């Protein structure tokens, strides 16, 4: 069809875990033997879905499996899913950074992709040279890039450093310039992966505005991946919900966001925290369990605002007899739209645990009076030892808050009371 910008048919991508290259000689010979006999590759028949939250037994994994969808010209498509769902792999295939194992991709027009900070930048070249290099990669002439150059530099805020090699740029400067190049060089198809989560608040606001401008123009097709559901609702028309390397649902962005949030409510479980493999850090110490307790240290499944809450963090050491020094703990709380609204951290309270003996395997966070409104929240865990991250677990769990008569009036709270509840009263003087 003439109005289709991207058409994906039976797209799959398989990886062999722990191997760089094509694999072992035995597997290569086995593939060759099946091929000369006219048979299907035997290794395409095995493998597990890409569920990074659990351990598997196969050395092969399907990062994507049997993906089919179409994107119309001028459509802004949001792609959502948890970490490991296959979103970034899909964008890399669409951007031709890597090739599919099976299936085809048909795209109409030039594609500009912004998958990581400074993607496509050459470290030794200056910012100016990299702008022209990226334009050439996208198939644009030097005259076309020159016509947009001043606008790109002004948007990125890198005027002073544009003739400095990008290897000396900060990560913020790189992402500002990379985003400016991708957004201003007028490709027919723009692919953006989580870039709006990088940079300071001023740049994020500026980038959102530019994305809205691009989206409302109706001339460019945009594929947008983000964990920020507010941005998704604001920018996108339709969406894909991906799960374990497959498309779980394709619908309007409102339906997709609702489905994603509902799925996350059932997904988060601290009971399997110790088995999570999508964590970062050296893992010399790892979180194993999180419990929410009331003021009597009794475990609870639902929290009451206005009441005392105690969070019990359990952890395990790889070296069981090791004493931990200079330990920092933190838990970041996100709302249902994945916006960070609260941070509980030893950095904020300036409580460094200078020494934790081997017998200590729990730490408690006390919140005297919970001020969150009624709703569902998720949290991310982080731990540092001697200044180095030892365990960082995204979306480590979730909890629900219900109204607990915060103001001691016995009355129910109205809708739309904001994120937080604060003690207050009115007087007349």
Would you call 282 helix, strand, or coil by DSSP? coil
| CB-based contacts of 97-100 (< 8 A; 24+ apart in sequence) | 98/13, 100/11, 100/12, 100/13, 100/64
d(CA 119, CA 290): 37
User: What percent of the chain clears pLDDT 90, i.e. is strictly above it?
Assistant: 31
| DSSP per-residue letters across 14-83 | EEETT--SS--HHHHHHHHHHHHTTPPPGGGS--EE--TTS--S-SEEEEEEEEEEEEETT-EEEEE--T
Beta strand 302-304 pairing with 309-317: unpaired
Among the ranges given (118-132, 246-260, 360-374, 410-424), the one the predictor scored with the smallest mean pLDDT = 410-424
Q: Is the pLDDT of residue 58 over 80?
A: no
The CATH code belonging to domain 4-109+188-266 is: 3.40.50.300
- The per-residue pLDDT for range 399-409, each reduced to its tens digit, is 888 777 777 76
| Cα(413)–Cα(404) distance, integer angstroms | 10
Structure tokens at 86: 């296959």
Full-model pTM = 0.61
Percent composition of the chain: helix, strand, coil (DSSP 3-state, to 5):
30, 35, 40
Average pLDDT over residues 28-35: 71
pLDDT tens digits for 134-188?
A: 888 777 889 989 999 999 999 888 899 999 999 898 877 888 888 888 778 777 8
**Assigned fold of 271-402:** Coagulation Factor XIII; Chain A, domain 1 (2.70.50)
Question: In Å, how far from its chain's centre is CA 218?
Answer: 26
Summarised one tens digit per residue, pLDDT across range 285-304 is 999 999 999 888 988 877 88
Domains 4-109+188-266 and 271-402 share a fold: no
The residue extents of the domains of the chain are 4-109+188-266, 271-402
């Amino acid at each position: 069809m003439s109005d289709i910008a991207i058409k994906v048919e039976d797209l799959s991508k398989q990886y062999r875990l722990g191997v760089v290259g094509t694999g072992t000689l035995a597997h290569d010979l086995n593939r060759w033997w099946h091929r000369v006999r006219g048979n299907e590759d035997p290794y395409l028949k095995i493998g597990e879905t890409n569920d990074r939250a659990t351990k598997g037994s196969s050395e092969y994994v399907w990062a994507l499996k049997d993906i089919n969808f179409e994107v119309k010209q001028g459509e802004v498509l949001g792609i959502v899913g948890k970490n490991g769902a296959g979103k970034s792999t899909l964008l890399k295939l669409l951007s031709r950074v890597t090739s599919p194992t099976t299936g085809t991709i048909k795209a109409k027009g030039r594609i500009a992709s912004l998958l990581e900070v400074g993607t496509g930048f050459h470290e030794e070249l200056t910012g100016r040279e990299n702008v022209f290099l990226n334009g050439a990669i996208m198939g644009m002439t030097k005259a076309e890039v020159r016509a947009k150059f001043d606008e790109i530099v002004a948007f990125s805020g890198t005027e002073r450093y544009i003739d400095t090699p990008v290897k000396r740029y900060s990560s913020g400067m790189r992402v500002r310039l990379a985003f400016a190049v991708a957004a201003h060089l007028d490709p027919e198809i723009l692919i953006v992966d989580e870039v709006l989560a990088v940079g300071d608040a001023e740049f994020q606001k500026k980038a959102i505005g530019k994305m809205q401008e691009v989206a409302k123009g109706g001339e460019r097709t945009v594929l947008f991946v983000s964990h920020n559901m507010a941005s998704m609702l604001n920018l996108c028309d339709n969406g894909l919900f991906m799960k374990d390397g497959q498309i779980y649902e394709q619908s309007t962005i409102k339906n997709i966001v609702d489905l994603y949030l509902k799925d996350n409510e059932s997904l988060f479980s601290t009971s399997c925290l110790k088995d999570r493999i999508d964590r970062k850090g050296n893992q010399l110490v790892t979180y194993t369990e999180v419990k929410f307790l009331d003021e009597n240290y009794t475990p609870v499944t639902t929290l009451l605002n206005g009441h005392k809450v105690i969070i019990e963090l359990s952890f395990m050491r790889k070296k069981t007899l090791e004493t931990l020094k200079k330990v920092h703990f933190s838990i970041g709380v996100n709302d249902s739209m994945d916006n960070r609204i609260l941070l509980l951290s030893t950095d904020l309270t300036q409580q460094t645990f200078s020494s934790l003996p081997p017998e200590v395997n729990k730490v408690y966070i006390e919140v005297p009076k919970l001020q969150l409104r009624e709703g569902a929240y998720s949290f991310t865990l982080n731990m540092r030892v001697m200044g180095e991250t030892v365990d960082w677990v995204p979306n480590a769990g979730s909890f629900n808050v219900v109204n607990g008569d915060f103001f001691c009036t016995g009355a129910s709270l109205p809708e739309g009371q904001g994120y937080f509840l604060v003690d207050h009263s009115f007087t007349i003087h």
